[in-house]
Amino acid sequence: MPAGVRCPGCEAIVPDLPELRTDHLYVGAAPGCWATYTELIGRQMADPGLFESRMLSVDVYMAQHPGVPGRQSSQSVWGHLIGLYLVFERGYDGIASARAKARVATPEATFEWLEPPASMGPITVLDVLATTTADEHGAADEHGAAVGRWAASVWAAWAPHQGAVRTRADAAVDRRHGR
């Protein structure tokens, strides 16, 4: 196993994989963390029972790895925080959240940089990936619960910006519904 390094996003100790691409335009993750995330997404895609977990995992991971100030990273963070808000506070499922986020993140939309919190929460992609290896009955439920805890911890970490996220999401969603 490669030596570990601290991920700049989630602060997990992940494998040091310098041979992997590290110049992602808007995700602030160590290559080993990104590799772990893609493994998680691959497992979720291979199991239809994990579809909802996959949709939420994307929002959580991206919000937990905001990168540096810039147009794409700002839009990414806003979009994924809006996704977390819609799931946690408005009760949207993954598909409804994705549709609503598309209405907010239009090509002409601009998003200011949200200063990331000092800590992105105690749960990381490593914790969630550990739940995808069980094959016994209930593994999807355990995995879904782990993704939910991960999402809750990341959403809580962004508490200083939750009001702005709510306002922007509600304005776009309510406008669509004629409110």
Structural domain of 9: 4-176
Q: What is the pLDDT of residues 47-82, one digit of tens each?
A: 888 888 899 999 999 999 999 999 999 999 999 999
Name which of 36-40, 48-52, 67-71, 100-104 the model is least confident about: 48-52
Residue-wise over 144-160: b if at least 16 C-beta within 10 A, else e?
bebbbebbbbbbebbee
* Percent of the chain predicted with pLDDT > 90: 65
- CB count in 10 Å sphere of residue 132: 22
The model's pTM is 0.90
Number of structural domains in the chain: 1
Q: What is the pLDDT of residues 10-30, one digit of tens each?
A: 999 999 987 776 666 789 999
Check pLDDT > 80 for residue 144.
yes
Tokens of 174: 């309510």
Average pLDDT value for the chain: 88
Q: Is 5 helix (H, G, I), strand (E, B) or coil?
A: strand
pLDDT of residue 132: 64
Taking Cα atoms as reference points, which of 42, 41, 22 lies closest to residue 30?
22
What CA–CA distance (Å, rounded) separates 61 from 40? 11
pLDDT of residue 134: 47
- Residues 129-135 have a mean pLDDT of 69
